[in-house]
Structure 1
């Protein structure tokens, strides 16, 4: 695996680790509410749902790290594909910004993995 591909996959994993922390632990805090554009009342009412979303991001992180550690191209591509699809769905249903935050980096990392 090329260094560039590994770094890009690692950055996607780090991004989703950050999202996990925001959703699971900081959702009702000012930094979490600011990141997702939430008011305090909605954040409090939806914190269990957000923690569940954060857990799913943790599974993406685990899969990406597994792909990095094992060196398995198929594992990396599968989890990058999951990130890209989730980002595209989020862009359509929640905010177009998600396309650029999640999908574009996952596709770029996937392309680098394929080229490596």
Structure 2
């Protein structure tokens, strides 16, 4: 059987089949998928941002103070001020020791 004969047989068989049968095979089935962890997290973040926006509209009716480029209420400013840790005064001996270590590191050559 040659290729042309085989092709003719195939075309005849295809034409004999009803047209509706071929259309049903290509119908897509849509399935409802469960939400992924990422989409759940995205929804949670969107809800949290919406809640924060509502809370901000309530808070903006009170007086605000700017600290480090951030707008905070007076109560928050007091809390931030209380939480600040005073830095220890610089120890000159420690500064000299660090400078000496830097000089030593610069003098050492890397081994290849």
Please give the TM-score of this superposition, normalised by the length of structure 2: 0.26
Which TM-score applies when normalising by structure 1? 0.25
Kindly indicate which of the two structures has a greater share of residues assigned to helix: 1
